[in-house]
Amino acid sequence: MTVPTSPVSQPSYSFQCVVDSPGFQVVGGKGVYIDVEKDGQVHSGVLDGVTGAAVGALGWGNEEVQEIMANAAKEAVYSFAPIMGNKPSEELAKFYIDNSPKGAFSAALWVCSGSESNENALRIIRQYFLERNLPNKTKLISRELSYHGYTLGAQSISWNPKVLPFEPYLMNREKTNIKINSAYPYRLQKSGETEEAYSERLLKDLEDKILANDPDTIASVTVETLPGSTLGTCPPPKGYLPGIRKLCNKYDLIFHLDEVMCGTGRSNPNGKLNCWENYLADNEAPDIQTVGKTLGSGYVSIAGVLVGPKIVEAFTKGSNSIFGGNTYSSHAFNCSVALAIQKKILKEGLTENIFKMGNLMGKRLQDALLSYSNIVGDVRGIGGFWSLEFVKDRATKDVFDVATNVAPRFKQICFDNKLSVMALSGTEEGTTGDRALLAPSFIIDEAYVNELVEKIVKSVDQLTKELHAEGKF
């Protein structure tokens, strides 16, 4: 149902997105559906296919979470973590550690966003090597087509076109930041090349970069376990992440996995929390892992840095302190709510559910969309995190011209069909195509999967028809 609520023309006082217009505004939600106001009309019952930015786990309007928040508000008292801690932050850290493979992590720091978590990870990496009296280990390795956050430090280890305008304000990208190839099998794995051979080629590139830049000056390797916005949920090829782990061990580097989008239960095969458990053995855990998004399920602003035992040991044997911190680090209210949410998710088996239902969603999308001619070139992902990549030609994988606006048009068509997705444009140079990301709530069932697949196929067919009529497909 579409109900007029206010005049179409209205200014925006919020300095974000389209500056002079409010654009889409969520005004309500229940379960897997949201109500969205656009141009003065409320569109009710829009199926939420992406939960904002892969944030939602419990869906919207959850009454038990409302009670959790009310109780937390009664009990929580603010404290500045560098001076005085609180019990909810300790308990949330213990919960995450206990629900990760034994020995993987020893401590955690809680902040308010994924950008802050990656920013703090960089500070921890730097201090770790200072604690060990290795001050020359300053260089940071990360991948082409990566995204690690909106703050300047996080953008310094990100390599994508959106970062380029801000390069004058970033770290020295020639001396401090080292770029390696992305793991992008759909476009970069050679014809006839096995996954293992592709991994070996990527790992050789990494080791060559380490040697060329002097291992004694390199601090870390940062990768997204399952990339999100800039690449579109490409699962790592076989042997790739274990290979990085071995190289980090060999050259005394910190292995940093960014699981802000893909982690905290969204893509875990064991009913627990970490995406890397799909690809790494328990004893191959990262030294640092950044998390966020579903940690608070969109009800509170919280993210975190999980710290491995060797880093904690270096600190305790050294200064045993960290100077400074974010004002809202380890915020008692946020930690209390997030802990209760995570306990609820675990109790109800929702990480198991999203892994099963998410994989079903992915399989049905592959079966539906790749069986006939349309603009979808690839459907990829794992668990509750999937994406579609759009191409002009499946055989050549040619991308659409950015001016064709395939991603924005697809998002609008999906919305017209009462489905919310995240749609992102490809790069000007054609290194990746337009993409649509899917990251539903953990509470989805088969009926949701069927409804989403039906709406996606309908939207793909509609845009395919339009582009064909324009002579662009």
Tell me, what's the pLDDT at 216? 98
SS3 for 35-64, per residue?
EEEECCEEEEEEEECCHHHHCCCCCECCHH
- What is the pLDDT at residue 429? 81
- Per-residue pLDDT of 392-436, as tens digits, reads 999 999 999 999 999 999 999 999 999 999 999 998 888 899 999
Q: What is the pLDDT of residue 184?
A: 97
Residue 361 confidence class, pLDDT cut points 50, 70, 90 = very high
User: What are 149-158's pLDDT values in tens digits?
Assistant: 999 999 999 9
Average pLDDT over residues 308-323: 96
In this predicted structure, the answer to whether residue 58 has a pLDDT above a threshold of 70 is yes
Work out the pLDDT band at 8, boundaries 50, 70, 90: very low
Q: Which of 267, 259, 450 is nearest to 351 (CA)?
A: 267
Mean pLDDT across 365-390: 98
- The Cα 233–Cα 219 span in angstroms is 26
How does pLDDT run across 39-49, given as a tens digit for each residue? Answer: 889 999 999 99
Instruction: Please state the rounded mean pLDDT for residues 443-449.
Output: 98
Q: Are strands 385-390 and 435-438 parallel, antiparallel or unpaired?
A: antiparallel
Q: What percent of the chain has pLDDT over 70?
A: 98
> Domains in the chain, start-ordered, CATH in brackets?
2-61+349-469 (3.90.1150.10), 67-347 (3.40.640.10)
Whether the per-residue pLDDT at 1 is higher than 70: the answer is: no
What pLDDT is attached to residue 16?
86
d(C-alpha 392, C-alpha 377), whole Å: 8
